[in-house]
Amino acid sequence: MPAPHQSLAEAVAKLNLGGASRHVILCAGVTCCDAPTGLAAWEALKRQIMDQGLSAVCQRTRAACLRVCCAGPIVVVYPEGTWYHDMTADRIPRFVREHLVEGRPVEEWIFVRSPLPAPEEQSPADRA
């Protein structure tokens, strides 16, 4: 069995964790949408990110709860902090094309923006 740190280092390299410029988190929890809808959105997101060749620069994570608990599936894109509602599988291709590829958020689906501060804007406690 490999050493735990070796396995972790391999996972970091395989996923290009330090090289991503964006992170898309999709909430597929059953309190904001039914399980089949959430799973379909997740599968569509994975497929679209791969098909568009974004896997090396865009991380994706499926979450069980982003605490919104309505109008789901919910998607949030960091570092810009753009939150989307009702992100069903049929909306995912447009979202990936316009927001992730072309850099144009889909305004009519956004319900809040909460960008992360740039590193130089963070307090020392935030950087720790």
Residue 69: which CATH number? 3.40.30.10
* Domain assignment present for 27: yes
* Domain assignment present for 36: yes
pTM, rounded to two decimals: 0.83
The per-residue pLDDT of the chain, averaged, comes to: 89
* Domain assignment present for 12: no
> What is the pLDDT at residue 119?
72
Q: In sequence order, what are the beta bridge partners of 24? A: 60, 77
* 3-state SS string for 83-109: EECCCCCCCHHHHHHHHHHCCCCCHHH
Query: Which residue range(s) make up the domain with 121?
Result: 21-127
* Domain assignment present for 1: no
- Other CB atoms within 10 Å distance of the CB of residue 35: 10
d(CA 71, CA 76): 13
CB-based contact 38:28 (threshold 8 Å): yes
Handedness of CA 23, 110, 88, 35 (dihedral sign): positive
Instruction: Please name the residue that has the structure tokens 């069903």.
Output: 88
pLDDT-wise least confident of 27-31, 57-61, 72-76, 103-107: 27-31
- Other CB atoms within 10 Å distance of the CB of residue 92: 24
* Domain assignment present for 105: yes
* Domain assignment present for 7: no
> What is the pLDDT at residue 125?
58
* Domain assignment present for 28: yes
Indicate the number of domains in the chain. Answer: 1
Q: In sequence order, what are the beta bridge partners of 22? A: 58
Task: Give me the mean pLDDT over the 45-61 stretch.
Answer: 95
* Domain assignment present for 6: no
CB-based contact 41:88 (threshold 8 Å): yes
Rama region for 103: left / alpha / beta (φ>0; ψ in -120 to 50; rest):
left
Residue 43 has pLDDT above 90, yes or no: yes
